[in-house]
Amino acid sequence: MYKTEVRGLLVEGGKTLGDVTRDVMSPLETRSPNWWRVVFGFASLMSIWGIYSIYITITQGIGTWGVNNTVGWGWAIINFVWWIGIGHAGTAFSIFLLVLRQKWRTSINRAAEAMTVIAVLCASIFPALHMGRIWNFYFILPYPNTRGPLWVNFNSPLFWDFLAISAYLLISASFWYLGMIPDFASIRDKTTSKVKKAVYGFFSMGWLGSAKEWIRFEALAFILGGIAAVLVVSVHSIVSTDFAVGMEPGWHTTIFPPYFVVGAIFSGFAMVMTLMIIIRKFYKFENYVTDSHLNAIARILVFVSLIMGTAYLTEIFLSWYSGNKYEMFTFFHNRITGEFTPQFWAMFISNALIPQLLWSKKLRSNITVLFIISIIINIGMWFERFNIVVTSLTKDFLPANWAPYHPSLIEVGIYVGTLGFFILGILLFFRYIPMIAISEIKGVMKFNKTKAD
Amino acid sequence: MEKQAYIVGVYDDEEPLIKAAQKFKDEGIKIQEIFTPYPIHEIFEIQDVKSRLSIAAYIYGWIGGLSILAFMQYAAVLSWPLNYGGKPENSFPSFILVTLVFTILFVTIMSLTTFIGRAQIFPGKTIDIIDPRSTDDKFVFVFPKDGTDRQKVESLLKSTGAVEVYDR
């Protein structure tokens, strides 16, 4: 068989199986570090502002936001799409690489999946609040009711969205939990604390690691992985149809589904990179999350960034080529130039140009550069959603409809709040869940051995 | 739970374990259970364990897909037809996304349920852990004490590289 040395060792430092369990368990067994407590404090403050803003929105209504009749979708939908995008890559990462049998996923998948679940939970807050009357939330469920029964509109992308995101959340969470069962069992059998033994024992569901358990476990992981791979593509395509079936200039294009899916994978991979650098640095997991892992993610980012750049240029080209004056206006006089110039160029430079620096091997192996670029990409992706939502809505076909949009403090508060929830969730993940999939790492260690021979 | 008596052989690497499992099979001695810290495919083959979960999932997929299509047909065409901008009531192409997503959801829920049912694992289950190191760094063979030729098993275990053999 043709073999090529693309990657270094999957686990460095000559670790034994016992070392893996001990290393991954160590953050769970020791006192939480000081930085953890400080960040936890900050994130709690952010969350409190978020909860206050959510309370005001629910009790006083959407009037507390900066949205108006023209710009009906403001920060809420921007942040919703942004969070869904981030939530996308965790499962994309973990599942595509599982289906493609890429062994380097094992060090990263747990954290990526954690990120997915928390980000999707953050995302779901926005459409729920945007409904206005959140207590009538159950109207969206197709159940036999006393209103006819009046069923939901199965042709509406908004209903598809609701279904797709619920399904995605459930499947990602199940997949994540399934992977943790053997690791919880490892902790149960190794820890000396009685409380931990009981708690992790409860959640390990009586796992023993017999051949029969393992074969079923693998079968289920492949089933969930295989079908969730379809969902990864469909969820963001459906989110894009929320826009693409709308008539607004700049939205009504067939490029939207692939454009959104790629954008989601892009921002999610950037967030995975941010997270892995933090894990590696603060928990000393350099032997598990190796330079080779970060290098692999960086190379994927360069590639996806090229696709993003191509998509941006294609949109601009087609607005000119179509000869449609409204499309031309949106792209040339409302994005590239005009009122929203800074936002457009922030998007273009952060997503299409700056990641190109990663072509250089020297920059790719500089952790600080990688960290900064991963943050820049996420900011750029936020501006992308801003561009799509706000530029198209503020100036549509009739100048009489035009209206400006500025977010209110309540809208900003909800966004900051979700950032706080996300950070809190990630910190709790660091503290209570093995950050690296213990059993999966052990399973790929034999490939290390053959490489060392 | 009443504890059964077992003979336990402990290995500390995957390679001797696979060879040993094959040797026991050739000698016609049945290993009751093999506990490993991670899945080993050779062991599945030697022990002849199979999972039909993927067949079940395939069937669940058909059931889920067909039932949601039938349900949408009922809700949007028979029960309460609504005119959305003059579009056909039975707008099959736009039902496809819901069908796809619901099928996936249904397969997930049903496969998880089947897994929990077949593997008999659930939160808070009481278990008899034979050797707690088997979820850490040891590979464990377990033989029932009754009806096993103790001496033969012990000598086979030792000759194939087991680092410990003990009764439990």
Q: What is the pLDDT of residue B55?
A: 93
**Comparing A272-286, A315-329, A435-449, which segment has the lowest mean pLDDT?**
A435-449
CA-based nearest residue to A53, from A37, A75, A32, A31 = A75
**Comparing A9-18, A66-75, A375-384, B13-22, which segment has the lowest mean pLDDT?**
A9-18
CA-based nearest residue to A411, from A83, A124, A122, A64 = A64
Return mean pLDDT, chain A.
88
Of residues B36, B105, B115, nearest to A209 (C-beta): B36
Query: Which residues in A lie closer than 8 A to residue B111 (C-beta atoms)?
Result: 220, 223-224
Cα angle A196-A200-A204, degrees, rounded to a multiple of 5 = 160
Q: Which helix or strand (DSSP H or E) is residue A207 part of?
A: none
Residues A230-240 have a mean pLDDT of 87
Residues of chain A with pLDDT > 90, as a percent, come to 41
Q: What is the pLDDT of residue A347?
A: 92
Mutation choice for B interface testing from A168, A204, A215 by most B CBs within 10 A: A215
The pLDDT tens digits of the residues spanning B45-98 come to 888 888 899 999 999 999 999 999 999 888 888 888 877 778 777 777 888 889
Chain B residue whose CA is closest to A227: B104
Report helix, strand or coil for A331: helix
Chain B residue whose CA is closest to A159: B98
**Comparing A192-196, A249-253, A337-341, B124-128, which segment has the lowest mean pLDDT?**
B124-128
Q: What is the pLDDT of residue A8?
A: 67
Of residues A216, A234, A443, nearest to B51 (C-beta): A216
Q: What is the pLDDT of residue A6?
A: 58
The torsion angles phi and psi of A408, rounded to 5 degrees, stand at: -85, 170
Q: What is the pLDDT of residue B65?
A: 94
Query: Which residues in A lie closer than 8 A to residue B47 (C-beta atoms)?
Result: 211
Between chains, do A227 and B104 touch, taking CB under 8 Å as contact?
yes
Q: Which residues contact A265 (CB under 8 A, 6 or more apart)?
A: A88, A89, A92, A304
Confidence of residue B3 (pLDDT cuts 50, 70, 90): low
- HSE (CB half, 13 Å, CA atoms) of A77? 20
The torsion angles phi and psi of B9, rounded to 5 degrees, stand at: -115, 130
Of residues B47, B51, B97, nearest to A234 (C-beta): B97
Q: What is the pLDDT of residue A5?
A: 57
Sheet holding B164-167, edge to edge: B33-35, B139-144, B6-11, B164-167
The pLDDT tens digits of the residues spanning A130-182 come to 888 889 888 888 888 888 788 888 888 888 888 988 999 999 899 899 999 99
Neighbours of A29 (CB within 10 A): 13
Report helix, strand or coil for A187: helix
CA-based nearest residue to B44, from A443, A218, A441 = A218
Query: Which residues in A lie closer than 8 A to residue B53 (C-beta atoms)?
Result: 216, 219-220, 223
The pLDDT tens digits of the residues spanning B143-161 come to 888 777 778 888 888 888 8
Between chains, do A182 and B135 touch, taking CB under 8 Å as contact?
yes
Residues B93-118 have a mean pLDDT of 91
Of residues A154, A205, A230, nearest to B123 (C-beta): A205
Confidence of residue A1 (pLDDT cuts 50, 70, 90): very low
Of residues A154, A186, A223, nearest to B72 (C-beta): A154
The pTM is what? 0.92
The letter for the amino acid at B35 is F
Mutation choice for A interface testing from B95, B97, B127 by most A CBs within 10 A: B97
Query: Which residues in A lie closer than 8 A to residue B45 (C-beta atoms)?
Result: none
Q: Partners of A46 in the beta sheet?
A: none
Distance CA A292, CA A435 (A): 18
Q: What is the pLDDT of residue B1?
A: 45
The pLDDT tens digits of the residues spanning A368-396 come to 999 999 999 999 999 999 999 999 899 98
Residues A341-359 have a mean pLDDT of 93
Report helix, strand or coil for A309: helix
Residues A300-304 have a mean pLDDT of 92
A249 in Cβ contact with A390 (< 8 Å): no
Q: What is the pLDDT of residue A306?
A: 94
Between chains, do B134 and A231 touch, taking CB under 8 Å as contact?
no
Mutation choice for A interface testing from B30, B38, B45, B83 by most A CBs within 10 A: B38
Query: Which residues in B lie closer than 8 A to residue A170 (C-beta atoms)?
Result: 105, 108-109
Is residue A451 over pLDDT 60? no
Q: What is the pLDDT of residue B2?
A: 54
Between chains, do A214 and B54 touch, taking CB under 8 Å as contact?
no
Mutation choice for B interface testing from A223, A441, A446 by most B CBs within 10 A: A223
Query: Which residues in A lie closer than 8 A to residue B72 (C-beta atoms)?
Result: 154
Q: Which residues contact A407 (CB under 8 A, 6 or more apart)?
A: A65, A66, A74, A75
